[in-house]
Amino acid sequence: MVKVLFVCLGNICRSPMAEAVFRRQVRDAGLEARIEVDSAGTGDWHVGQRPHEGTRKLLEKKGIDWKGIVARQVTQGDMRRFDYIVAMDGSNLQNLRAIAGYAGSRPGDGEGSGAEPKLIRLLDLVPETKLEDVPDPYYTGNFEEVYELVEAGCAALLRTIRAELPA
Contact residues toward ligand 4NP (CB under 6 A) are: 8-14, 41, 45-46, 136, 138
- 8 is a catalytic site residue: yes
Q: Which is nearer to ligand 4NP, 11 or 25 (CB)?
A: 11
Supply the minimum distance, in Å, between the C-beta of residue 12 and ligand 4NP.
Answer: 4
What Rg, from alpha-carbon coordinates, does the chain have? 15
Least Å distance, CB 58 to ligand 4NP, is 12
Task: Give the shortest CB-97-to-ligand 4NP separation in angstroms.
Answer: 17
Query: Phi then psi for 2, rounded to 5 degrees?
Result: -95, 130
Q: Hey, what long-range contacts does 130-135 have (CB within 8 A, 24 or more apart)?
A: 132/89, 132/90, 133/88, 133/89, 133/90, 133/91, 134/8, 134/14, 134/88, 134/89
Closer residue to ligand 4NP, CB minimum distance, 19 or 83: 19
